[in-house]
Amino acid sequence: MALGELGRSHDYRDRADAGHGLAGFAEMQEALGPLLELVLDPGDTFVTRVTAEAVLRRKDRIGLAVVASALAVADSNHSDWIHTAILDVFGISSEDRDNALQLCEEMLRDTDDRVSLGARQLHGTLAEIDPVLRSV
């Protein structure tokens, strides 16, 4: 997969582009490893931020699971940028935030320990968000 190769570039902008592009293929098994590596990019947290936001904008269980897996093992610096992406994606609509909370509750029972641990952290972050727009 060409995006996977781009994700190994020495240029952080290429890696960020790869993370953004790979998010659209997160349901494919071969995209999951590279996505997780890009969310936890050791070279530049810009890559972390862009990739986390892109997978979260899917607003589905797959995107949330990628971010939850990353949160479970992220250092404080990466964690801060992941939290920023969560706020940017889910800080607008209460409906989107509530749907994400429900998916996180389901992921708490995931058989993958990293997903369930990260889902707990993700749920806590989402629960603290006070969205701008509320459903009527």
Walk along the chain (136 residues) and give the pLDDT tens digit of each residue.
688 889 999 999 999 999 999 999 999 999 999 999 999 999 999 999 999 999 999 999 999 999 999 999 999 999 999 999 999 999 999 999 999 999 999 999 999 999 999 999 999 999 999 999 987 7
Between CA 4 and CA 39, with CA 44 as vertex, the angle to 5 degrees is: 50
Range of the domain at 22: 2-128
Tally of domains in the chain = 1
Q: Is residue 87 part of a domain?
A: yes
C-alpha span between 102 and 10 (Å, rounded): 38
Predicted structure pTM score: 0.95
- Residue 134 in any domain: the answer is no
Taking the C-alpha atoms of residue 14 and residue 83, their distance in angstroms, rounded to an integer, is 22
Q: Tell me the C-alpha distance between 56 and 84, whole Å.
A: 11
